[in-house]
Structure formats: structure tokens, C-alpha cells
């Protein structure tokens, strides 16, 4: 077999296996009380970035319409991820807080952790497998 054909077959097999192992994620947001502004979402694949030591893996801004929001991410490698989001009801690009630094706009995290502040990455983390995945985050 000529060398070029062998290389082409190897490259094609890697491309096919990468497509098979790619994942997609649909994030639904519930308990939206105001039909204004946008949901600001950040998706993280490691604790360091989640805790502020690096950038998010993916981010999105989705306008709130009809009290529902659904956000889709494609071409994610399977693995553990965590989500932080907030409802920027007044569209100023910030999570507004009161004088004591407590949020006055709704916010949420993935996972089942219920805490006063942001849960640690391990409590917020969920597994994304190859193929289609979905998760729902409830605003607080």
C-alpha cells in the first residue's frame, strides 16, 4: 500500500474516532422569575478555573424569552464539568450585589450541592459522556 494512502487512512480513522467520542451538552435553566435580561453561563472542566484561577471552558449569554432558557454546547470532550450561571436581569453584564456583597440577582450552580456560597467544584461537577447529555440548573 502506498505511503500516502496509509497516512490518509490513519488520519481518517483518528477523525472518525474523535467524532464518535465528542459530546454535546444541553443546559436548561429553571425558576426564572423575570422575563428580562439574559442568562450568563460559564462551563468549567477543572477546579482551578472554576475557582477563578483560569478561564472557563465555554461561556454563553442567552436572552431570557418566555421564562425559559436552553443553552447548547457541542464538541466537548467527555469528562467532568461544573456550571456557574446568573440571571443578568438588568443586562449590565454583572452579577449585582447588595452593600454586604450578597447577590441580588438570581444565580445557580450545577450539581446537587446546597450551600450559602458557591459549592466546591466536586459538589457542582457532573459527568459528560460521549453523545448527547443534558443538565438542568435551578436559579436561586
Query: pLDDT of 66-123, one tens digit each?
Result: 888 999 999 999 999 999 999 999 999 999 999 999 999 999 999 976 777 889 999 9
What's the pLDDT score for residue 112? 79
* Contacts (Cβ under 8 Å, ≥6 apart) of 45: 57, 77, 79, 80, 81
Dihedral sign, Cα of residue 41, residue 44, residue 47, residue 49:
negative
DSSP 67: T
Query: pLDDT of 55-65, one tens digit each?
Result: 999 999 999 99
pTM of this structure: 0.84
Amino acid at each position: 500500500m502506498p505511503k500516502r494512502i496509509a497516512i490518509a487512512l490513519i488520519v481518517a480513522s483518528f477523525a472518525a474516532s474523535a467524532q464518535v467520542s465528542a459530546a454535546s451538552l444541553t443546559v436548561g435553566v429553571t425558576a426564572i422569575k423575570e422575563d428580562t435580561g439574559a442568562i450568563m453561563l460559564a462551563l468549567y472542566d477543572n477546579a482551578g478555573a472554576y475557582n477563578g484561577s483560569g478561564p472557563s471552558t465555554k461561556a454563553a449569554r442567552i436572552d431570557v424569552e418566555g421564562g425559559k432558557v436552553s443553552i447548547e454546547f457541542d464538541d466537548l470532550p467527555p469528562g467532568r464539568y461544573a456550571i456557574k450561571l446568573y440571571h443578568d436581569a438588568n443586562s449590565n453584564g454583572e452579577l449585582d450585589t447588595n452593600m454586604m456583597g450578597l447577590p441580588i440577582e438570581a444565580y445557580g450552580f450545577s450539581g446537587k450541592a446546597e450551600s450559602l456560597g458557591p459549592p466546591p467544584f466536586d459538589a457542582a461537577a457532573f459527568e459528560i459522556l460521549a453523545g448527547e447529555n443534558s443538565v438542568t440548573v435551578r436559579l436561586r
